[in-house]
């Protein structure tokens, strides 16, 4: 029996479908095919596997591979068994005849940024199987989906706020055990325990291919500044080549920065927050770099109002980093720097918008953006801060709720 | 500084490349393009992002997007910066001219089961950009990669055995806190803590699109028997539609089966093990079903020798499940049953071979197979067992090391 508080309200899901359909019509697509679990959750209220099809006009259908039993209970849109791929073409033609036309010409946008090529090729073949009316072509609808998902509803924001409170509470609890001589791994285990018992689902979903997050990274001194495959300003030494980011077996030491870049996922929604801690005191230059990161965050925060271009916020941060005297250390070091200041969060880490060059769209009310200025010093550590804000007409409202400032431990 | 014990030995990686090249030549491919992080780790010794190219003859090259610094330190094959996709074509033609021919006709196998369609389409376009010699076509090399990875080396087996010991130790420790009234979630948090401090990287990788595992599932009574999107015999109620598998907020009760299907990932390698526990005693029929699951495991174990077809092991299990009187409950219930008895494990959960119809290849020495007969009873629970074995000429050698049998708690 699914507990009622966990069910996503029907009107919430229906509102999302309305917005997806508006975007489809605006961009000239005839429908949307979603295959990724998170996209499917967003558009149906259920995270079972299969294909969700949302025509630009008309009723959405969730063709379920597994588990149909569960999807039928959870989904706010009609469910149907997926069956074989060949059967999918026939079912789609029956349910959504508007996607088929004698001469072709219909286009179905799809989440091609996540859908495996093997699935894509098999779907193409199935759709083109010899039936009377021509099947729609598949187009890359990733950007459309990401744009719609970027603007959150009040229901979604409430979930993100709950995740933020859990991170704050868990961090407060775990900091009691952050001591010299404790390994990063052991302390992370402690923190993850505190997150998990409060409802963290045990992972933070991230959209990018090959990107992985458990609960973020905790890195101290030199270990924090080691670069990684993760698309963020601080990688972390990790636990060897097979887990080459995040916590390592290094023990915490006095007077070195400890970067605590963590989050959790509750009811599907993530939060992202960074604090810098130190046992003792930071060296003067790193203390100064830390203050610069706070100043860059505050500068971004002052400008985070609807209408401001995301790229402008990034460029302003680059200018302030130049002024700091450490431009080569901003958002990573040297060739390993990342080229953004912040990113959307929601069902996934790394949603849109991205505060980066090329993202010239304006901020909109309802966007939830993690801003994370950091300075990396190879061999010494990473300092920085990150808070997540909701963009509102009245300015940014912080969603992260852990107190601001450097965490100084005795 | 990367710690030496974490580095994957050069000769280990070179041996893998030799086997991949033998498979390429046997199957008539000119080379292999790997894009997925786990495949790249396997073939280079580093899990940074980019493309690893292994020609059927000649030297492999790892074109690294991020982090080149780290990849250069870890990789057993030559690294080069990936740069732009357009530049990738030129670099590939320079480094691997044997993949290009004036009239075309060369074929590059690739991991299309994981590579996103968007990446696939961009790669195709980049490879076809107007140069003198024709670029190779991309073919689906997923099966080739999975077949090669299915047979483990002694170095890999030692890592899987270490993961197995950690699961055994962590479970032993956490069972001290498995009590009536404790929630599945709270106990899982406790177990995950024990796994993590022993080196679990915090996630178990799984290859299938949209498949997720944190550390497996712990499910008690009715909650265990709820079906899920996860391709396994027991889903678990989970924590709502956004985490619709595994542990829930249900509390453990007396005399109900508690399914503990867990693993961990250490140095990149996973282990998979299931035990059934009960506080008190199982009802007679579930106790009988549990015994049947043990008998099916033992029957499979007796036949797990090189040369036996994987599908034959599955069919034998189906026959025994029929004899048990609960065929509709075997490997899930009704429409939610899964159609396999076991699966390979290694860098990922759900590797090859699969003990299922259609897998008619014979078992080979070096394969590591988790065998997991289970019976699901909606509203009552799931009983079953799972051990992982190494296939050897002398018969199966257990890799899981937790004691066999029902776990009975007072």
Chain-chain contact of B119 with A115 (C-beta, under 8 angstroms): no
Chain-chain contact of B267 with A335 (C-beta, under 8 angstroms): no
> Where in chain B are all domains bearing CATH 3.40.350.10?
4-147
The pLDDT score that the predictor gives to residue B129 is: 83
Q: Cis ω on the peptide bond leading into residue B150 (within 30° of 0)?
A: no
Other CB atoms closer than 10 Å to residue B130's CB: what's the count? Answer: 5
Tokens 């009760």 sit on residue: B253
Q: What's the CA gap between B53 and B42, in Å, rounded?
A: 12
The pLDDT score that the predictor gives to residue A5 is: 55
What DSSP character marks residue B332?
S
Q: Work out the percent of chain A whose per-residue pLDDT is above 70.
A: 98
- pLDDT surpasses 60 at A4: no
- pLDDT surpasses 70 at A184: yes
Asked if B167 and B271 touch (Cβ cutoff 8 Å), the reply is yes
- Residue-wise pLDDT for B184-208, tens only, equals 999 999 999 999 999 999 999 999 9
Tokens for B49? 């992002």
Average pLDDT, integer, range B346-367: 97
The domain covering A4-147 belongs, at the CATH homologous superfamily level, to Creatinase/prolidase N-terminal domain (3.40.350.10)
Other CB atoms closer than 10 Å to residue A195's CB: what's the count? Answer: 28
- Size of the A and B interface in Cβ pairs below 8 Å: 230
> Where in chain A are all domains bearing CATH 3.90.230.10?
151-409
Distance in Å, alpha carbon of A302 to nearest chain B alpha carbon: 32
Q: Name the nearest CA neighbour of B230 among A209, A50, A67.
A: A67
- Residue-wise pLDDT for B370-401, tens only, equals 999 999 999 999 999 999 999 999 999 999 99
- Residue-wise pLDDT for B121-159, tens only, equals 999 999 988 766 798 999 999 999 999 999 999 999 999
Distances (CA, A) of A86 to A62, A350, B267, B280: 16, 35, 41, 50
Average per-residue pLDDT in chain A? 96
Asked if B121 and B363 touch (Cβ cutoff 8 Å), the reply is no
The pLDDT score that the predictor gives to residue B102 is: 87
Phi, psi angle pair for A142, to nearest 5°: -55, -45
The pLDDT score that the predictor gives to residue A295 is: 98
Give B-chain residues touching A336 at CB under 8 angstroms: 66-67, 69
The pLDDT score that the predictor gives to residue A214 is: 87
A151-409 has CATH 3.30.70.240 classification: no
Facing residues of A134 across strands?
Answer: A101
Q: Name the nearest CA neighbour of B152 among B163, B141, B166, B139.
A: B163
Chain-chain contact of B192 with A193 (C-beta, under 8 angstroms): yes
Average pLDDT, integer, range B92-121: 95
The pLDDT score that the predictor gives to residue B1 is: 37
Q: Name the nearest CA neighbour of B178 among B277, B281, B282.
A: B277
**How confident is residue A104, by pLDDT bands cut at 50, 70 and 90?**
confident
Other CB atoms closer than 10 Å to residue B87's CB: what's the count? Answer: 13
**How confident is residue A7, by pLDDT bands cut at 50, 70 and 90?**
confident
The pLDDT score that the predictor gives to residue A97 is: 94
**How confident is residue B214, by pLDDT bands cut at 50, 70 and 90?**
confident
What is the largest distance, in Å, between two alpha-carbon atoms of chain A? 76
List A residues 171-190 in contact with B (Cβ-Cβ < 8 A). Answer: 185-186, 188-190
**How confident is residue A133, by pLDDT bands cut at 50, 70 and 90?**
confident
Q: Work out the percent of chain B whose per-residue pLDDT is above 70.
A: 98
3-state secondary structure of A166: helix
Contact of B156 with chain A, judged by CB distance below 8 Å, is answered with no
How many degrees, rounded to 5, is the angle at CA B313 between CA B307 and CA B317? 165
Tokens for B294? 């043990």
- Residue-wise pLDDT for B67-84, tens only, equals 999 999 999 999 999 998
Number of H helices, E strands in chain A: 11, 17
Q: What's the CA gap between A62 and A71, in Å, rounded?
A: 9
Of B117, B203, B214, the CB nearest to A120: B117
Give A-chain residues touching B68 at CB under 8 angstroms: 335
DSSP strand pairing (B107-110 vs B31-34): parallel
For residues B129, B132, B137, B142, the Cα torsion angle rounded to the nearest 10 degrees is -80
**How confident is residue A3, by pLDDT bands cut at 50, 70 and 90?**
very low
Global ipTM: 0.96
Q: Name the nearest CA neighbour of A66 among B336, B253, B354.
A: B336
Chain-chain contact of B185 with A203 (C-beta, under 8 angstroms): no
The pLDDT score that the predictor gives to residue B85 is: 86
Residue of B nearest to A83 (CA): B335
- Residue-wise pLDDT for B283-328, tens only, equals 999 999 999 999 999 999 999 999 999 999 999 999 999 999 999 9
Distances (CA, A) of B107 to B29, B99, B141, B185: 6, 7, 10, 49
- pLDDT surpasses 50 at B2: no
């Amino acid at each position: 029996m699914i507990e009622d508080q966990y069910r996503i309200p029907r009107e919430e899901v229906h509102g999302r479908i309305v917005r997806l359909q508006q975007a489809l019509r605006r961009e000239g697509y005839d429908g949307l095919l979603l295959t990724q679990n998170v996209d499917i959750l967003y558009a149906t209220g259920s995270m079972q596997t299969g294909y969700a099809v949302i025509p630009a006009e008309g009723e959405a259908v969730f063709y379920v591979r597994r588990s149909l039993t569960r999807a039928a209970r959870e989904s706010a849109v009609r469910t149907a068994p997926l069956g074989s791929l060949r059967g999918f073409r026939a079912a789609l033609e029956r349910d959504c005849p508007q996607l088929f036309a004698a001469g072709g010409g219909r286009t179905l946008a799809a989440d091609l940024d996540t859908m495996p090529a093997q699935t894509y090729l098999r779907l193409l073949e199935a759709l083109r199987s010899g039936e009377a009316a021509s099947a729609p072509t598949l187009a890359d609808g990733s950007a459309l989906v990401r744009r719609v998902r970027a603007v959150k509803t009040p229901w979604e924001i409430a979930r993100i706020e709950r995740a933020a409170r859990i991170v704050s509470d868990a961090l407060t609890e775990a900091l009691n055990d952050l001591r010299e001589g404790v390994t990063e791994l052991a302390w992370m285990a402690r923190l993850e325990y505190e997150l998990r018992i409060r409802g963290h689902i045990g992972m933070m979903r991230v959209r990018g291919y090959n990107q992985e997050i458990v609960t973020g990274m905790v890195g101290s001194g030199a270990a924090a500044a080691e670069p990684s495959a993760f698309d963020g300003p601080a990688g972390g030494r990790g636990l060897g080549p097979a887990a080459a980011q995040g916590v390592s077996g290094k023990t915490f030491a006095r007077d070195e920065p400890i970067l605590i870049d963590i989050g959790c996922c509750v009811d599907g929604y993530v939060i992202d927050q960074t604090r810098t801690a130190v046992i003792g005191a930071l060296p003067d230059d790193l203390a100064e770099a830390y203050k610069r990161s706070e100043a860059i965050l505050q500068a971004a925060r002052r400008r985070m109002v609807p209408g401001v271009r995301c790229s402008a916020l990034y460029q302003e941060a680059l200018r302030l980093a130049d002024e700091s005297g450490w431009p080569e250390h901003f958002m990573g070091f040297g060739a390993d720097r990342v080229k953004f200041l912040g990113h959307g969060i929601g069902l996934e880490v790394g949603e849109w918008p991205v505060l980066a060059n090329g993202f010239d769209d304006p901020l909109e009310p309802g966007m939830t953006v993690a801003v994370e200025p950091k300075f990396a010093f190879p061999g010494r550590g990473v300092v920085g801060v990150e808070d997540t804000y909701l963009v509102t007409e009245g300015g940014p409202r912080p969603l992260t709720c852990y107190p601001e400032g450097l965490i100084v431990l005795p």
